[in-house]
Amino acid sequence: MLQRLDSANKISLVALFSTSAMVLCAIANMVAGYLSDRTHSRFGARTPWIVGGATVFALGMILASFSTSVIWLFITWMVTAVALQFIVAPMVAWIDFAEEKHQGTASSAYGGVGMAFGNNGFAVIGALFLGRLKLGFIIFGLICFVGSLLAAILVREPSNIGQELPKTKTKKEHFKLKDLFPGWSTGGNYYLTLLVKMFLGIGNFLISGYLLYIMEDFFHKGTGAASSSIQLINMIMFVFALVLGLVAGPLSDKFKLVKWPVALSSIFVGLGALSIILLRSEFSLILYAILAGFGMGLWNSLDNRLNLMVLPDKNRVAFFLGVYNLANSLPQAIAPIFAAILIPISGYPAVFLGAFIFAALGGILILFVKDVK
């Protein structure tokens, strides 16, 4: 859409849109989680915000589809970015409704199967609308609305009217930052898992976010061949993510293991990055898709379960899970900075090595999380 509206400045405009959305999302995510934790209604604490956010998101996408100027697209895009946080932050807290012994399965369904379809499956569907942008905007806005409404109906969140609210400071008491974010002694495990998610996300996005350029500039493929390779990689990763989304959670619940499978996922993502450096062939792309697909599929299936286990305050589930979910989007802003630094040093091999290092750091840090197997 930006290319149609202002082709000459599309690169800088994408950066502007991404950075602005990132700032708004960081704020909106915490606000959405905070408000959700303090909401009382016959439909529960989460459902009103999820359905409301999905309604605003769909309307924002429809309005964005009629953009005739960059300013109008910017305004509507920021609205949809904020609305999305009011879906994501409360929705991830639904995982806490599952019984303790089944929370791995719930996490696997949400992050594993859901992310498999969202990240890889719908990327293939989205490509079908490249020549019909207006229709694509509208359809995906409606898919989000219908999907969220269907999820609310299936979950049937119980009424929480009369339930006690999380304790807050009185007017006479001074607000302190630790009231919002607890100190390391209480929240150390939570902060470690947050860093792990950030590092693994950066390691993954350093490659996945630049696949087109890697195909064209590193493997010297034409546009058609590059597109075919990207589709193949996404399909392989989709299959692995879907399978792991179906089996990783139940197996985690059965064997009571969460931390070690997450550490294993970091190893596979790192090895996937190394395979491209060492082999530098068409086969290395397939191997990367298999290894990274397995690693990210395993991670997406269990990371929300892990975070539930290390929450510093069970009365603020949506808030802390919302902050945790920011680590899904922040790497997409941080990775391009590292790419801009690394590529001039030694080209794309430096990016692959950087991806390996970040994934390895995530795998090492997760081992320091206490009281979790």
Q: Which mean pLDDT values do the consecutive 10-residue runs of the chain (373 residues) have?
A: 82 75 85 88 93 97 95 95 91 81 79 77 73 90 95 92 64 54 83 91 86 84 81 87 84 85 90 91 91 88 81 78 74 77 83 93 91 81
In a domain, 178, yes or no: no
- The pLDDT score that the predictor gives to residue 165 is 60
pLDDT at 178: 58
Residue 164: inside a domain: no
CA angle 373, 300, 195 (to 5 degrees): 70
CA distance 40 to 91: 16
User: Domain containing 193: what range?
Assistant: 2-159+185-368
pLDDT of residue 335: 79
Main-chain phi, psi angles of 181, to 5 degrees = -120, 110
pLDDT at 176: 54
Q: Considering the domain boundaries, does residue 170 fall inside one?
A: no
Find the angle CA(302)-CA(329)-CA(4) to the nearest 5 degrees: 135
Flag whether 99 is in a domain: yes
Query: Considering the domain boundaries, does residue 364 fall inside one?
Result: yes
Q: Answer yes or no: is 285 within a domain.
A: yes
At residue 249, the pLDDT reads 82
Tell me whether residue 336 is in a domain.
yes
Looking at the 3D structure of the chain, how many domains does it have?
1
Q: Which CATH number fits the domain that encloses residue 35?
A: 1.20.1250.20
Report yes or no on 26 lying in a domain. Answer: yes
At 364 the pLDDT is: 92
